[in-house]
Amino acid sequence: GAVVSQHPSWVICKSGTSVKIECRSLDFQATTMFWYRQFPKQSLMLMATSNEGSKATYEQGVEKDKFLINHASLTLSTLTVTSAHPEDSSFYICSARVVEEAKNIQYFGAGTRLSVL
């Protein structure tokens, strides 16, 4: 399958600072990437759909000014958590979409564990 790289894998920051997470498709081009948030023992909650060259589409209840998404190239999408607070602590996972045999397959990054102190 396709390889998606996500960095950093773990970050600790102070309350009020901003954190940038990168998601890269290593061996393919991805016009669409997705950002999820996952709480312990829960399912993946879609935050936003990242489209190359255009604005991201945010899910209901997700603050676009809080979670800035930039998809500047066909292989890179970034999520910036601005002015992070302890309630933003979570596991953030990205995925990249590949269309194979008319299937919308998503390959996931390894995730970023964010801890805000």
Partner 1 sequence: GENVEQHPSTLSVQEGDSAVIKCTYSDSASNYFPWYKQELGKRPQLIIDIRSNVGEKKDQRIAVTLNKTAKHFSLHITETQPEDSAVYFCAATYTGGGKLIFGQGTELSVKP
Interaction site with partner 1 (CB under 8 A): 1, 32, 34, 41-44, 46, 49, 91, 93, 97, 101-111, 113
Query: With respect to partner 1, which residue has the nearer C-beta, 14 or 102?
Result: 102
User: Position of tokens 């979570």?
Assistant: 90
Query: With respect to partner 1, which residue has the nearer C-beta, 18 or 39?
Result: 39
Residues in the chain: 117
Query: With respect to partner 1, which residue has the nearer C-beta, 28 or 82?
Result: 28
Nearest distance, CB of residue 79 and partner 1, angstroms: 16
Closest CA to 1 of 114, 116, 111, 107: 107
Residues 109, 117: Cα–Cα separation, whole Å: 24
